[in-house]
Amino acid sequence: MDRKSLKFAALETAQAVPVVGFKTHINVARYLHSLGTTHAYRVLGGILSSNLLVNGYDHQSTSNVHNEVWMHLNREPDSKESSTSIVQNSRWDIVDFIVLLTVYHDGDFDKGKLEVRVAINSTHYASLDTINRFSKFILALWGLRKDRPMYFKGVEDYLLDSLQGVKFTTRIKCLNYAVDSDIWHRSFNPGSFTESEIAQKLDLHMSQITAEDIDTIQGLNVIKYDKGYLENCCPASSCIRRASDSAPVSWVVCHADYQIGALLTVDDYRSRGLAKFILQDLGNKMIANFAAKMTLLYDEPPTDFNFQLQMITELTNINTRRLFERFGFRPVANVSWAECTFEVAKLPSVSKPKL
């Protein structure tokens, strides 16, 4: 990506700076990995699943997904500090938060769906000053797309609660669970349940989600994902089907930010251990995929790297929460999947972004 390919260039101020260039994106991804928090992994996952780490990638391609990474600083940089030099010199102490902006569109960017993910540069909660700067950044972002909703995917509740003038048209309160990959591997007995047993005993077979399954999944899942979004998730999914008619009976996907989600087993096939099987299958795929992605971040990938598997589920989904807890997942944050618009009459007065 270069500066010409920025769609949100008007956001740039002295403290809100875009991440530009292949090497700069690599260094930001490395830092998010080293930070190791759940919100850092969400933004890192989004970067890894994008084309931002492909050297020479043409951001003006015909792809229907556009990604940009922005940093917000906790002070104005001096004359010698650019976003590139800050990252190259590891001046992370002046970075407040890192934002990943993703737009899904069908050729018309202005009408596309904007998703926002944020990583606070802290292993604790954000400070009041950081929360205030985050609110102003989001307000400036909204100012560029006033007639379009904004979507927050797994953003901490305390950050969303701080946004002024926001009207949530949809807000699903969730818990964010996480488990380190080493604990994940110890949670399963590899020989306890095999695909051949599923085929022989239950007349089922292992697969992945396809475009033909989207209507079924959309109709049964609590969170009504867009069809286009689910289609993008199909390659990173696990699904068990009836052998007789190939109908899906249990499924789970890896979201665009490496979150496990959309886990569901249809009523007639529950209490048979299918959720455990597809969860193990997808988790192992995600860990292997992340290991492969390490070659993008490091010339010599660390052999002892850690990967944090994450999932988000509704607060009310007690059965899924118990299932994940049996595999070592622990709740780490209260978050929301939310769609919002802004009520102009309630907006605070802030400086306009530099054009």
* pLDDT tens readout for residues 112-132: 889 999 999 998 889 999 999
Band of pLDDT at residue 58, cut at 50, 70 and 90: very low
Q: Please report which helix (H) or strand (E) contains residue 52, including its range.
A: none
Over residues 300-349, the pLDDT tens digits come to 766 666 778 888 888 988 988 998 898 889 999 999 989 988 765 454 44
pLDDT at 189 over 70: no
Nearest-angstrom CA–CA distance, 120 and 225: 26
pLDDT digits (tens, 9 = 90+) for 260-305: 888 889 988 888 888 888 888 888 888 888 888 888 788 776 666 6
Chain center to CA of 61: 22
CATH no. for 179-333: 3.40.630.30
At residue 49, does pLDDT exceed 90?
no
Q: What does DSSP say about strands 248-254 and 259-265: parallel, antiparallel, or unpaired?
A: antiparallel
- Residue 336 β-bridge partners: 155, 173
Question: Which residues are bridge partners to 252 per DSSP?
Answer: 238
Q: Lowest-confidence range among 47-51, 133-137, 285-289, 351-355?
A: 351-355
pLDDT tens digits, residue range 233-247?
888 889 999 888 889
Enumerate residues 6+ apart whose C-beta is below 8 A from 340. 149, 150, 151, 152, 163, 166, 167, 168, 169, 171
**Rounded Cα–Cα distance for residues 261 and 225 (Å):** 11
Give percent of the chain above pLDDT 90: 25
12 three-state secondary structure: coil
Q: Which whole number is the average pLDDT over 18-28?
A: 90
Q: Where are the domains of the chain?
A: 3-148, 179-333
Q: How confident is the model at residue 350 (pLDDT cuts 50, 70, 90)?
A: very low
Give which of 127, 158, 152 is closest to 312, Cα–Cα.
152
Q: If you average pLDDT over residues 158-187, what whole number do you get? A: 86
- pLDDT confidence tier of residue 353, bands split at 50, 70 and 90: very low
